[in-house]
Structure 1
Amino acid sequence: MVFSDQDLARRLERAEGRSNASFVDARAQLFPTSGACWVEVAGAYAMFDGPDSPLTQTFGLGLFGPVGDAELSKLERFFAERGAPVHHEVSPLADGSLLALLPTRGYVPIEYTSVLYRPLGPEAPAASAPTNPRVQTRVVPHSEAEAWSQTLAQGWSTEMENAEAFMRDFGRINARSAGYAAYLAELDGAPIAAGGMYVHNGVALLAGASTVPQGRRQGGQQALLHARLRDAASQGCTLALMGALPGSQSQRNAEKHGFRIAYTRIKWQLMPRP
């Protein structure tokens, strides 16, 4: 049994934090003038990936060390110096004093995320095998990063407003992030779905999966999930990790394939003082 406790939260949050740190490092390398960078404060990772990036926030706050006014002030200066809003995504398994402290400094909750996990290994239930033999998956090399990011962007274009350009840029950088594996699902040789996987300390983070509109209901997502879980287990991972909007179709799909909710995170935003 894997219990939803603080040890699990630390493993999951660190894996996601390391993945995002790798992304920020890749952006800084590809675009030196972007100012992309990250720091560690009280064990949490604070990322700057641009003022409007969803990665510009902290990960793991309150899980790896005590957080008081001094630590929060240091984090707030990090974001303020870069003209970015201050966001902390906090697990309910973080130190309970943080929950009381944040509102006193002007933070308000703005978003929930379901953090889901699935045990991997010989004793864990096997992932559902793909049902469409016409769909094949593969890890794409860096030389095909542009085609992979285009597939990823097309899949997200119907999910969020103005998402295609953002996801195309996001995909290009992710495909070049250290430790990130970009997966493609192809129907009769034509790309229909894209996704990725990042591995840290025995945890495989599954992220970014999408299917192009004309390729949906062909088994692309199931094939991608099966391939990534299979590869994660073969690399010695004991846990797989996903994030989803609570109650969303993505969460339901994950639960259908053996994922369980570890906890629900709250994203806090520092509001401007009058």
Structure 2
Amino acid sequence: MVFSDQNLARRLERAESRSNASFVEARAKLHPESGAQWLEVAGTYAMFDGPDSPITQTFGLGLFEAVGEAELVKLEQFFAERGAPVYHEVSPMADSALLALLPIRGYVPFEYTSVLYLPLEQAALATSPALNPRVHTRVVPPAQADLWAQTLAQGWSTEMDNAEAFMRDFGRINAHSAGYSAYLAELDGTPIAAGGMFVHDGVALLAGASTVPHGRRQGGQQALLHARLRDAAAQGCTLALMGALPGSQSQSNAEKQGFRIAYTRIKWQLQPRA
């Protein structure tokens, strides 16, 4: 049994932290003018990927080491020097003193994320339904990063305004991130779905999944999930990780595949001072 405790939280949070650090490093290498950078403060990973990037925030705050005012000041200065807002994504397994300290310093909570995990010895049961024989998956080489990024962007284009251009850029960077594998699902040879996987310390982070509008309900996402879990297990991973909005269809789909909720994170934002 894998229990939802602080040890599990540390493994999951570090895998996600390392994935985002790898992304920031890839951005800095491909676009040095972006100023992309990250640093570690008391076990917390702080990422800067541009003022408007969803990656620009911290992960693991108060989970690996105690965090007081001095550590928060250092983190806040990191973002302030780059003209970025200050966001912390905090696990309930973190030091409980943060619950009192963050509001005192002017933070307000504004977003939840369900963190889900699957012990991979259960993956065979979770992915047993028959797959569409017309759908095949493959890992995309860096030379085809644009194809993967375009498929990813098309899938997100109906989910939010102005998403396609952002996700195309996001996909290109991810496809060049160390440790990240970009997967395509193709229906009769035509790309219909994209997804990614990042592996760290026996944890496989599954992210970036989308399906193009004309390819939906063809089994593309099911095939991608099966392929990534299979490959993760082959690489020696013992856990798979996903994040989702609480109560969302993404969470429901993950739970149908055997994922369990480890905990719900709260995202905090530092309010501008008068």
Q: Normalised by the shorter chain, which TM-score bucket? A: over 0.9
Q: 5+ unaligned residues in a row in structure 1: which ranges?
A: none
- Aligned partner of 2:265 in structure 1 is 265
Displacement after TM superposition at 1:44 (Å)? 0.6
Q: How many angstroms apart in 2 are the aligned matches of 1:215 and 1:123?
A: 25
Could you tell me which amino acid in structure 1 is paired with residue 18 of structure 2?
R
Residue by residue over 1:109-144, the C-alpha shift from the partner in whole angstroms, topping out at 9 and shown as x without a partner, is 011000000001379735234421000000010111
Q: How many angstroms apart in 2 are the aligned matches of 1:108 and 1:149?
A: 34
- Given that 1:130 and 1:222 are in contact with CA atoms closer than 8 Å, whether structure 2 keeps it comes out as no
- Aligned partner of 2:54 in structure 1 is 54
- Aligned partner of 1:223 in structure 2 is 223
Aligned-residue CA RMSD (Å): 1.0
Displacement after TM superposition at 1:266 (Å)? 0.4
Q: How many angstroms apart in 2 are the aligned matches of 1:144 and 1:245?
A: 30
Residue by residue over 1:251-273, the C-alpha shift from the partner in whole angstroms, topping out at 9 and shown as x without a partner, is 00000000000000000000011
Residue by residue over 1:30-55, the C-alpha shift from the partner in whole angstroms, topping out at 9 and shown as x without a partner, is 00010000000010100000000000
- Given that 2:115 and 2:241 are in contact with CA atoms closer than 8 Å, whether structure 1 keeps it comes out as yes
Q: Is the alpha carbon distance of 1:146 and 1:130 closer, same or farther for their aligned partners in structure 2, counting shifts above 3 Å?
A: farther
Q: 5+ unaligned residues in a row in structure 2: which ranges?
A: none
Could you tell me which amino acid in structure 2 is paired with residue 261 of structure 1?
I
- Aligned partner of 2:86 in structure 1 is 86
- Aligned partner of 2:191 in structure 1 is 191
Could you tell me which amino acid in structure 2 is paired with residue 133 of structure 1?
P
Q: How many angstroms apart in 1 are the aligned matches of 2:56 and 2:4?
A: 26
Could you tell me which amino acid in structure 1 is paired with residue 69 of structure 2?
D
Q: Is the alpha carbon distance of 1:83 and 1:233 closer, same or farther for their aligned partners in structure 2, counting shifts above 3 Å?
A: same
2:164 is equivalent to residue 147 of structure 1: no
Alignment of 1:1-274 (within 5 A): 1-121=1-121, 125-274=125-274
TM-score of the superposition, structure 1-length normalised? Answer: 0.98
Residue by residue over 1:122-179, the C-alpha shift from the partner in whole angstroms, topping out at 9 and shown as x without a partner, is 7973523442100000001011100000000000000111100000000000000000
Q: How many residues align?
A: 274
Displacement after TM superposition at 1:99 (Å)? 1.0
| Corresponding residue SS for 1:50 | coil
Q: Is the alpha carbon distance of 1:123 and 1:188 closer, same or farther for their aligned partners in structure 2, counting shifts above 3 Å?
A: closer
Q: How many angstroms apart in 2 are the aligned matches of 1:5 and 1:57?
A: 23
| Corresponding residue SS for 1:11 | helix
Q: How many angstroms apart in 2 are the aligned matches of 1:122 and 1:270?
A: 40
- Given that 1:130 and 1:226 are in contact with CA atoms closer than 8 Å, whether structure 2 keeps it comes out as no
- Given that 1:121 and 1:237 are in contact with CA atoms closer than 8 Å, whether structure 2 keeps it comes out as no
Which aligned segments of 4 or more residues in structure 1 are displaced greater than 4 angstroms?
Answer: none
Percent identity for Structure 1 against Structure 2: 82
Q: How many angstroms apart in 2 are the aligned matches of 1:259 and 1:128?
A: 14
| Corresponding residue SS for 1:96 | coil
Q: How many angstroms apart in 2 are the aligned matches of 1:191 and 1:131?
A: 16
Residue by residue over 1:36-95, the C-alpha shift from the partner in whole angstroms, topping out at 9 and shown as x without a partner, is 000000101000000000000000001010100000000000000000000000000000
- Given that 2:139 and 2:182 are in contact with CA atoms closer than 8 Å, whether structure 1 keeps it comes out as yes
User: Which range moves more in the overlay, 233-242 or 114-123?
Assistant: 114-123
Q: How many angstroms apart in 1 are the aligned matches of 2:198 and 2:214?
A: 27
Displacement after TM superposition at 1:219 (Å)? 0.2
- Given that 1:21 and 1:47 are in contact with CA atoms closer than 8 Å, whether structure 2 keeps it comes out as yes
| Corresponding residue SS for 1:125 | helix
- Given that 1:44 and 1:64 are in contact with CA atoms closer than 8 Å, whether structure 2 keeps it comes out as yes
- Given that 2:123 and 2:229 are in contact with CA atoms closer than 8 Å, whether structure 1 keeps it comes out as no
- Given that 1:129 and 1:226 are in contact with CA atoms closer than 8 Å, whether structure 2 keeps it comes out as no
- Given that 1:18 and 1:200 are in contact with CA atoms closer than 8 Å, whether structure 2 keeps it comes out as yes
Could you tell me which amino acid in structure 2 is paired with residue 177 of structure 1?
S
